[in-house]
């Protein structure tokens, strides 16, 4: 397993929250550094996610900044504590770090809301469907990386299989359901997989049919991961350069509105299952 060459998204998020808390209290970097017993450059590295902050120092800073939200402070303290390495660490140095950050984000979410217009959610894909997706990446991936990405994607799905699995609510557009990645047989098996997982009590799938018309964020993949406290919610969106992670309050509010709009035009769960079944039946 390779060592980390850059901060994980979780580390960057903790640093972001430390800086946000300091600025909200109008505490200068110099004063905060003195309070924590570190130099100015180390505090800068902490706020950028490049250096860890201990739980004790985090609580000291929160108290100095007058932060009264104990649930928020406790959630930050949990991030600051040394954590056991997740399964995704086995892929460090072999796969893009953004893919590992997605897995870590999902592992810490208490609830997930996703919206997909063209692709089936990665966390619900069959191996054959995922393989077909990886085969059309430009530039083409070498075979060993295709195998690694496939293994990583399959392992990601375990987050929905455990006794403490988060609630998952996915909105999928009809276009994604009709895309025949890998051919008709693979597409049919993928739809059968969606029907199977939709029977789980903690998984809700809803379909937006073509006839529903326009909606905000059409064509964009959205993964909204709710944290232990609302301040630690995170939106992950895909881009041609890899996953992007957004968590300013304005961005979070925007994507909540997008998802709420989609919920408003999507079919109810039972009708969505019937809709998926009908498409699969005609393949």
Give the per-residue pLDDT at 2.
Answer: 47
Give the per-residue pLDDT at 242.
Answer: 85
Give the per-residue pLDDT at 35.
Answer: 94
Give the per-residue pLDDT at 3.
Answer: 46
Give the per-residue pLDDT at 1.
Answer: 45
95: DSSP letter: B
Q: How far is CA 185 from CA 111, 272, 283, in A?
A: 32, 21, 8
Give the per-residue pLDDT at 257.
Answer: 97
Q: How far apart are CA 270 and CA 106, in angstroms?
A: 26
For the chain, give every domain's residue range: 9-80, 91-281
Give the per-residue pLDDT at 105.
Answer: 97
Which residue from 91, 8, 114 is spatially nearest to 52, judged by alpha carbons?
Answer: 8
Give the per-residue pLDDT at 83.
Answer: 75
Please name the fold of domain 91-281.
Answer: Endonuclease; Chain A (3.30.870)
Which is the CATH superfamily of the domain at 9-80? lambda repressor-like DNA-binding domains (1.10.260.40)
Alpha carbon 280 to its chain centroid, in Å, reads 28
Give the per-residue pLDDT at 5.
Answer: 60
pLDDT-flagged residues of the chain (< 50): 1-3
Q: How wide is the angle at C-alpha 152 spanned by C-alphas 106 and 148, nearest 5°?
A: 155
């Amino acid at each position: 397993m390779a060592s980390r060459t850059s901060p994980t998204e979780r580390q960057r998020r903790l640093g972001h929250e430390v800086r946000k808390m300091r600025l909200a209290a109008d505490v200068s970097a110099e004063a905060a550094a003195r309070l924590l017993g570190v130099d100015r450059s180390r505090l800068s590295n902490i706020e950028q996610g490049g250096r860890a902050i201990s739980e004790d120092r985090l609580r000291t800073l929160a108290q100095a900044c007058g932060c009264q939200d104990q649930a928020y402070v406790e959630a930050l303290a949990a991030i600051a504590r040394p954590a056991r390495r997740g399964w995704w660490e086995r892929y460090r140095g072999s796969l893009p770090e953004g893919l590992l950050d997605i897995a870590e984000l999902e592992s810490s979410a208490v609830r997930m809301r996703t919206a997909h217009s063209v692709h089936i959610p990665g966390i619900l894909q069959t191996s054959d469907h995922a393989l077909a997706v990886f085969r059309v990446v430009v530039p083409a991936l070498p075979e060993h990386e295709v195998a690694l990405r496939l293994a990583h994607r399959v392992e990601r799905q375990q987050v929905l299989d455990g006794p403490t699995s988060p609630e998952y609510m996915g909105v999928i557009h009809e276009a994604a359901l009709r895309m025949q990645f890998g051919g008709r047989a693979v597409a049919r098996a993928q739809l059968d997989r969606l029907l199977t997982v939709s029977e789980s009590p903690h998984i809700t799938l809803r379909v937006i049919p073509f006839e529903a018309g326009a909606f905000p964020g059409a064509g964009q993949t959205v993964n909204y991961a709710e944290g232990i406290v609302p301040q630690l919610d995170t939106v992950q969106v895909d881009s041609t350069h890899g996953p992007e992670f957004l968590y300013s309050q304005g961005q979070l509010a925007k994507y909540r509105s997008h998802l709420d709009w989609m919920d408003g035009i999507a079919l109810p769960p039972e009708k969505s299952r019937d809709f998926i079944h009908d498409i699969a039946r005609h393949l």
